[in-house]
Chain A
Amino acid sequence: MTAVSADQRQQLAYVATQAADARLNVEIETEGMTLNIGPQHPATHGTLRLVARLDGEQVVEAEPIMGYMHRGYEKLAEVRTYPQVTTLINRIDWLGSFANEVPFILAAEKLMEVEAPPRAQWIRTVLFELSRIANITLFLGDMAVQLGALTPVFMAFRDREFVLNQIEAATGGRFHPNFDRIGGLKDDLPQGWIDDTKQAMEKMRDFCDEFEELVLGNEIFQARSRGIGIVPAEVGLAYGLSGANIRASGVDWDLRRDGHEALAYDQVDWKVWTHPDGDSFARYWVRLQETREATHIVDQLLDGLPSGPIMAKVPRIIKVPAGEAYAATENPLGEMGYYVVSKGDLVPFRVKIRSASFSNMSITPWLLKGVYVPDIITILASLYFILGDIDR
């Protein structure tokens, strides 16, 4: 056994610390790696493919690749009569189908200079909000499942059924109502529907309260979503972000309140929710509050439902006068609008579909730069897109 003097021991300790420091200071060189996410990934709500170039755990560059679901609605709309087009556009955002029909019908009504009677406008608004609730409910469960909490998504699917049942009872279709008509609605509400809907709204409020505790109050959820994917307001606007995504960045703008379309939102008392943070948590928070607010809007609308006809006087075969019109509404996913060019025919000459998810997703190459791999999923989930709404 060799004796080590105090001097030597000191020297050895010094060398050991130096070596440890050196190990820490060496930059670990990693080769760039390309990570392919999708097109069959549950975080993509359809078939979105994301190619991310990674440096270690960080994203250097992320590029969404779309088009797997491109159906060419803008071209197809040019060969369909106006009433036929609603069948197509139902399938853009398939979780809130009725809301897709409304802006197109409003654009056509603008061109024809007809306005739906008050009762039709109110029922339209009710169904619009029901689509919003059905749509956002699924988001509330889905974002949680993507952060690893399995239970909320089952609760969301279960409770969404209350709303879908009401939509089905009124329109005949759970997902694709095809119920909106130029000048009004296809039918009046069935008997007993109002009471049933109010009960459903009661249940949805309970659902929101439960989720506020279960998900928003969850420590892991907060840790995974707070400060992740921050969108500054002016960047979001320049990318065309709309809806809850931009309200979560503190922009107080809601087309239901600020738009001038013929819907009944100005007849009821409600408020627009915003959040100053702009992160993934804020986007979830705003959507949750909006869902609860929507149940109150529905309740008030049903209380004050005016009587009268549900159809304005429009010709049976609809020819829309020549002109151009743009109508946009606050859909569950954000601003959805139709720019309709008419030449006075049975069919539109050109329809430009402004869908919310397309613009909402266009920020991802900017937003995903520099984030860690697990946060990609958080950010994609919190931006909330529907592939049909991107690819159209």
Chain B
Amino acid sequence: MTQLSSTEVENDAAETGSQSDERREAWAAQMAEALGDGFAEHHIIPSSDLWVRVNRESWADAATAARDQLDCQFFDWLSAIDWLPSPYGRDMDAQEDNPEPKSADPMEQGHAGGETRFQMAMRLYSISEHMGITIKADLPDDDLSVDTLISVFPGANWHEREAWEMFGIHFNGHPDLRNIYLPGAFEGNPLRKDFPLLARRVKPWPGIVDVELFPGEEGP
């Protein structure tokens, strides 16, 4: 049975941080070249991760380019991010419907920037390079739709259904866009920041009530 097992584990000791950076820079450059105008921005955390933001129209092209040119054959996940600061405050315990926004925080998008409230995010991974990439795309508020990735990665099917029911994002060309978790008659999109968490209305957050002691620390 030994012929079925892989080679012995080797330590990736030779792989230093600076090398990784060059590899990620190269990936970003390759994506920029493949997508042309569709490429918006990228962000690299050295020897950790790479983010690329593309235009909505280039969403499916970005997946294809990452698969074919960066050898990212592994479809990791797909989801969305709602950047609206929660109108119910941090603890989401608003007692009234549709309250005025409490939080004066401006909307601030994360790595690789962005302008819109809703952003798509997908993660692809290269088995050969042992490196992943997070691709984002802005979705304008008046048209929350983006092309489906099913033709590129069939595994996107369920992830897109989830994003559809949780965020209300429409996927053009998806053959079977219906709820995956929630009952068919469910109203609303639960993962949107303005969707109230009813459990917190019934029983407000008590705040931090028990701070755990560190090992070796004496109690009060």
Contacts and interface: CB of A to CB of B under 8 A. Distances in A.
Question: Is this pair of chains taken from one and the same complex?
Answer: yes
Contacts of A362: 155, 157-159
A326 B131 CA distance: 12
B170 interface: no
Interface in A189-211: none
A300 B73 CA distance: 34
B6 A252 contact: yes
A94 interface: no
A187 B215 CA distance: 6
B180 A339 contact: no
A237 B205 contact: no
B27 interface: no
Max count, chain A CB within 10 A of own CB: residue among B47, B85, B159: B159
Contacts of A358: 158
Given A66-B180, A67-B180, A239-B155, A339 B215 contact: no
Contacts of B211: 316-317
Contacts of B18: none
Contacts of A324: 51, 110-111, 134
Max count, chain A CB within 10 A of own CB: residue among B82, B110, B197: B110
Contact of A343 (B49, B108, B121, B154): B108
B76 A337 contact: yes
Contacts of B77: 240, 337, 339, 352, 354, 359
Contacts of A271: 5-9
Interface string A336-362: 010101010111001010100011011
Nearest to A359: B155
A326 B49 contact: yes
A270 B159 CA distance: 34
Interface string A74-92: 1110110101000000000
A184 to B, nearest CB: 8
Interface string A239-278: 1101000000001110001111000011001111111100
B181 A240 contact: no
A341 B81 CA distance: 9
B180 A335 contact: no
Nearest to A72: B190
B154 A366 contact: yes
Contacts of A276: 4
Interface residues of B, number: 59
B103 to A, nearest CB: 10
Contacts of A270: 9
Nearest to A265: B9
B104 interface: no
SS class, residues of chain B in contact with chain A: loop
B212 interface: yes
SS class, residues of chain A in contact with chain B: mixed
Contacts of A370: none
A81 B205 CA distance: 11
Nearest to A247: B6
Contacts of A54: none
A359 B8 CA distance: 28
B208 A346 contact: yes
Given A234-B73, A316-B211, A317-B208, A273 B4 contact: yes
Given A75-B190, A238-B73, A354 B215 contact: no
A345 B90 CA distance: 8
A363 B158 CA distance: 10
A129 B214 CA distance: 25
B132 A239 contact: no
Interface in B182-219: 182-183, 190-191, 195, 197, 199-200, 205, 208, 211-212, 214-215
Contacts of A187: 215
Interface string A311-346: 100001100001111101000000101010101011
B5 A274 contact: yes
A273 B75 CA distance: 22
5 contacts: A67-B183, A237-B127, A265-B9, A354-B76, A359-B75
Given A324-B51, A359-B75, 16 more contacts: A67-B183, A74-B191, A76-B199, A187-B215, A238-B75, A239-B75, A260-B12, A271-B6, A271-B9, A311-B214, A324-B134, A325-B49, A328-B76, A337-B123, A352-B81, A359-B158
Interface of B: 4-9, 11-12, 47-49, 51, 73-77, 79, 81-82, 85-86, 90-92, 105, 108, 110-111, 121, 123, 127, 130, 132, 134, 153-155, 157-159, 166, 179-183, 190-191, 195, 197, 199-200, 205, 208, 211-212, 214-215
Interface of A: 66-67, 70, 72, 74-76, 78-79, 81, 83, 110, 186-188, 234-235, 237-240, 242, 251-253, 257-260, 265-266, 269-276, 289, 310-311, 316-317, 322-326, 328, 335, 337, 339, 341, 343, 345-347, 350, 352, 354, 358-359, 361-363, 366, 391
Nearest 4 A/B pairs, CB to CB: A239-B155, A67-B181, A70-B181, A240-B155
